[in-house]
Amino acid sequence: MKSFSLTEIWLLKVFYLLASLLGAVLFYYLFKIVIRRFVSLTQKGLKLPKKQISKRVNTLSHVLENVVKVILFFVVIFLWLRIFNLETTPLVAGVSVFSIVIAFSVQSLLRDVINGFFILLENQFNVGDRVKIGNFEGEVEKMTLRVTVLKDEEGNLHYIPNSEIRAVTWFKKG
């Protein structure tokens, strides 16, 4: 059995690091294409105008892409730890306990994410729609699971946590 020199071992580890990063990036872009097609196909049966379906597809795709990005980030980090022979089992156990503690302390963030999910699921509004949320009125500039960003007529951006959205007025274009 051939033994490897220290230099060869480190070169191999660097190769694995780069290969895992490249694999994650390729997976992300492939998944991005699949997400857009899947979301487009699921919207075909809806009896909505094409423009509204397009906005809904963009909004849902953007949110799903961000979720995949976060998951891939953690997968790559754990792969890298394994490449350097660091044991990840205690880390996973520690993260699990830590996440329970964090969950209790960031309840408003969890409410934001849950409300954001239901806003998207129920198609209450999409990026590009003109809406009134509370005291703010404007065009939906950006949506994430945590926050909705409105741009008013003066160009001001209003960041509204999704947990604070109680009622939405959606303005028709025309």
Per-residue model confidence (pLDDT) at position 1: 65
Task: Catalogue all structural domains in the chain, each as residue range(s) with its CATH number.
Answer: 1-86 (no CATH), 106-174 (2.30.30.60)
Contacts of residue 1, Cβ cutoff 8 Å, sequence gap at least 6? none
pTM beyond 0.85, yes or no = no
- CB-CB neighbours of 83 under 10 Å: 16
Alpha helical stretches, state H, 1-83: 6-43, 50-83
Question: Residue 111 and residue 121: Cα distance in Å, rounded?
Answer: 15
**pLDDT tens track, the chain, 174 positions:** 677 787 888 888 889 889 999 999 999 999 888 888 877 777 666 666 777 777 777 777 888 888 889 889 988 988 888 888 888 888 778 878 888 887 777 788 888 888 988 888 888 898 899 999 999 999 999 998 889 999 999 999 999 999 999 999 988 765
Is the Cβ–Cβ distance between 133 and 160 less than 8 Å? yes
Distance (Å) of CA 108 to CA 78, 97, 114, 161: 28, 19, 10, 9
- CB-CB neighbours of 129 under 10 Å: 21
> Per DSSP, what are the bridge partners of residue 130?
139, 171
